A and B are shown apart, each in its own frame.
Chain A
Amino acid sequence: MLSQAERRLTFVALGVAAIVTLYPLALLVNTALSPLHGTSGITFRHPLSLEAFGYAWREGNFSRYMLNTAIVTVTVVVVSAVLSIMAAYAVAVLKPPGARLVLYVSIFGFMLPTEALIVPWYYQLLPLNLVNTYWAMILPQIAQSVAFGTFWLQIAFRALPASLSESAVLDGASRWTSLWRVMTPNIAPAIRTMVALVFLWTWNSFMLPLVMVSNQSLYVVTVGLSNFQGSHFNNYSALAAGSILVALPVVVVYFFSQRSFISVLFAGSVVE
């Protein structure tokens, strides 16, 4: 049997680790609740106030940044999910000659780091007058997400029994109807995982929007926050409030889909 001492030691060690993990987040929340211009630095005790959130939302322009991020994220998630479902169904079920090649290209494509592609992306989109538009943040992000989604969803399609699609087709349904009515509902968990991951990636993406957009009215939350930090570096309460506005949507999604997020972990290393 385990000794009482060992059990206690484990619990204390985990407790310390939890404090270290949560301290930065607690500091963020506490600072965001302090009054604007109330103090010169970060303090633990202060009167509580929500005015920093209002300041960040209006004067800090975070309302605009949130809208931009929402436009980019929703477009990327919806388009890449639809295109990935279609491509994965073709690769896994219909198997036209050469479909394997698409699979290999998508594996290769989603392993490529943004850093390797960012320079050519810029010089591709510049002559098309797409730099400094939403498209410059959306299109490359869709490409990376489709590369991942095609690989991830074809595994799910492959796991379905072959009879499922064949019987649907034999019943006279077109392949299009069979895909959306019969096949897609059956891989809903894999699609949810993909959507959660693409949402997280796109909301968090920084390098792509930083490079592609210099017009402030098109800033997404990450670039907007970074820029706000540069101009308001000692307005701690406003900076903390802005940070919470930026981080909260992802945290909320996390709390509502913890299970998906755990399988996302494995999804991130699918080559494994």
Chain B
Amino acid sequence: MDDVVLTERARGVDRERAQPRRSRFRPGAARRADILWGYLLLLPAMAFLAVLLVEPFIKALQYSLESWDGIGPARYVGFANYKQLWTDPVERDSLVHLAILFCFYSLIPTAAGLAAAAAIRRGSRRGMSFFRVAFFLPQVIVTVVAAIVWTWILAPSGPATLNGLLHALGLGPAVGRPWLGNFNTAIVAVGLIAVWLDFGLCFVLFLAGIQRIGPDLYDAARMDGAGLFREFTSLTVPLLRREIGAALTISVVAALQSFTLIYQATDGGPGYATMVPGLLVYRYGFQLGEVGAASALGIAMAVIIFGLTFGIRALIERKAT
């Protein structure tokens, strides 16, 4: 955003310089028309932003300080709904699950995508467009559909399931289990679906970036005697900084908005083993009549998104200098 502000200032100066040339024709009048048209064109967008983003956000802040069932009178309760974020075990666990999902949505696909892109740079380009299209496909599959087919694959038994494969390999009794139905494995199973969803996104981003770098730098590094690992840490990773930042940001936001996947695949179960904040917002807000608690969770999610987005950005910028 700083870049935007900077270019804006630079352009502003530009325009002021250009002003005299223009004002020879219509001094003041042109600028007045600019302003009038500017407001007219902004009006409809501003109406939407004010009524459906700013106002509800302020409303959410207000609800989050109240105890309200959605029908009767509301009661001011201060920060009680926020305190519940860590005193209530279900809410606290949902935040822990969110942290676990960050690894699966974000860190693992980023690491795997980097490794794959680096390997491809060294290897042949054979079949490259196929891999790019194939790996990216999960990103454009409607989430409800992805959740349904993965519940089939992670089902307890059947020829098409993961357990079926393990059984065929002779690992059935030792490793196989009802992945989504088991208290210990459910969150990991959901995480595997997340890896499937986000790997291609990271891969495609990094592949585009690595092709931009070109082979010259790598040749130079090899001349200097850099090994595989060295090449990866001091060339590939720093040069793909922007792409890594983009991949982390997109996937972190996706992890926060895992509502659809969880609702459809496990509904937070078994028990609360895969409960996430997004699903709790839905339960509190629309099933249990706890509007205040739902709003506090929603605000907390917004804060986490803003914090992580700007945190990742700061990290990428600092490494740049």
B159 lies within 8 A of A147 (CB) = no
A42 lies within 8 A of B45 (CB) = no
Q: Which of B33, B139, B298 has the most CB of A within 10 A?
A: B298
B298 lies within 8 A of A117 (CB) = yes
- Cα A44 to Cα B145 in complex, Å, equals 19
A143 lies within 8 A of B48 (CB) = yes
Contacts of A74 in B (CB 8 A): none
Interface residues of B in 280-299 (CB under 8 A from A): 281-282, 285-286, 291, 294-295, 297-299
Contacts of A139 in B (CB 8 A): 48, 52
Contacts of B136 in A (CB 8 A): 254, 261
Task: Type the 1/0 row for A97-131, where 1 means its CB is closer than 8 Å to any CB of B.
Answer: 10110100111110111111111111110000000
Contacts of A84 in B (CB 8 A): 45
Q: Contacting A265 at CB < 8 Å: which of B116, B201, B312?
A: B201
Q: Contacting A271 at CB < 8 Å: which of B1, B124, B256?
A: B1
Interface residues of B in 145-179 (CB under 8 A from A): 145-146, 148-150, 152-153, 158-160
- Cα A107 to Cα B102 in complex, Å, equals 23
Q: Contacting A96 at CB < 8 Å: which of B34, B59, B291, B295?
A: B34
Q: Does B227 contact A (CB under 8 A)?
A: no
Given contacts A21-B200, A22-B134, A143-B49, contact A113 B257 (CB under 8 A): yes
Given contacts A113-B256, A147-B49, contact A251 B56 (CB under 8 A): no
Q: Which of A31, A87, A179, A226 has the most CB of B within 10 A?
A: A87
Q: Contacting B298 at CB < 8 Å: which of A115, A204, A268?
A: A115
Q: Does A168 contact B (CB under 8 A)?
A: no
- Cα A268 to Cα B298 in complex, Å, equals 21
> Chain B's nearest CB lies how many Å from the CB of A215?
16
Majority DSSP secondary structure for residues of A touching B: helix
Q: Does A221 contact B (CB under 8 A)?
A: yes
Give the interface size bracket for A toward B. Answer: 35 or more
Task: Type the 1/0 row for B7-34, where 1 means its CB is closer than 8 Å to any CB of A.
Answer: 1100100110010001001000010011
Q: Does B76 contact A (CB under 8 A)?
A: no
> Chain B's nearest CB lies how many Å from the CB of A27?
6
Q: Contacting B142 at CB < 8 Å: which of A23, A109, A176, A250?
A: A250
B149 lies within 8 A of A10 (CB) = no
Q: Contacting B30 at CB < 8 Å: which of A121, A169, A229?
A: A169
- Cα A14 to Cα B253 in complex, Å, equals 27
Residue of B nearest to A23 (CB): B153
Q: Does B63 contact A (CB under 8 A)?
A: yes
- Cα A21 to Cα B200 in complex, Å, equals 9
B42 lies within 8 A of A124 (CB) = no
- Cα A163 to Cα B152 in complex, Å, equals 59
Q: Does B38 contact A (CB under 8 A)?
A: yes
B46 lies within 8 A of A87 (CB) = yes
B246 lies within 8 A of A269 (CB) = yes
- Cα A10 to Cα B200 in complex, Å, equals 16
Contacts of A25 in B (CB 8 A): 137, 141, 149
Residue of B nearest to A169 (CB): B30
- Cα A45 to Cα B44 in complex, Å, equals 56
- Cα A129 to Cα B249 in complex, Å, equals 37
Residue of A nearest to B200 (CB): A21
B196 lies within 8 A of A122 (CB) = no
- Cα A105 to Cα B51 in complex, Å, equals 12
> Chain B's nearest CB lies how many Å from the CB of A24?
5
Contacts of B305 in A (CB 8 A): 111-113
Given contacts A83-B44, A124-B55, contact A258 B133 (CB under 8 A): yes
Q: Contacting B38 at CB < 8 Å: which of A94, A118, A244?
A: A94
Interface residues of A in 139-189 (CB under 8 A from B): 139-140, 142-144, 146-147, 150, 155, 158, 162, 166, 169-170, 175-176, 179
Other 13 A-B pairs with CB < 8 A, given A10-B120, A120-B59: A21-B138, A87-B42, A87-B45, A111-B306, A112-B302, A116-B301, A140-B52, A170-B22, A203-B142, A211-B285, A222-B260, A225-B142, A226-B144
Can you list 29 A-B contacts (CB < 8 A)?
Answer: A14-B119, A23-B153, A24-B149, A24-B153, A42-B158, A42-B160, A83-B45, A86-B45, A96-B35, A111-B309, A113-B256, A113-B302, A115-B298, A118-B282, A143-B48, A147-B49, A155-B4, A175-B33, A176-B37, A206-B143, A206-B259, A207-B260, A207-B282, A225-B142, A251-B141, A261-B139, A265-B204, A265-B250, A272-B245
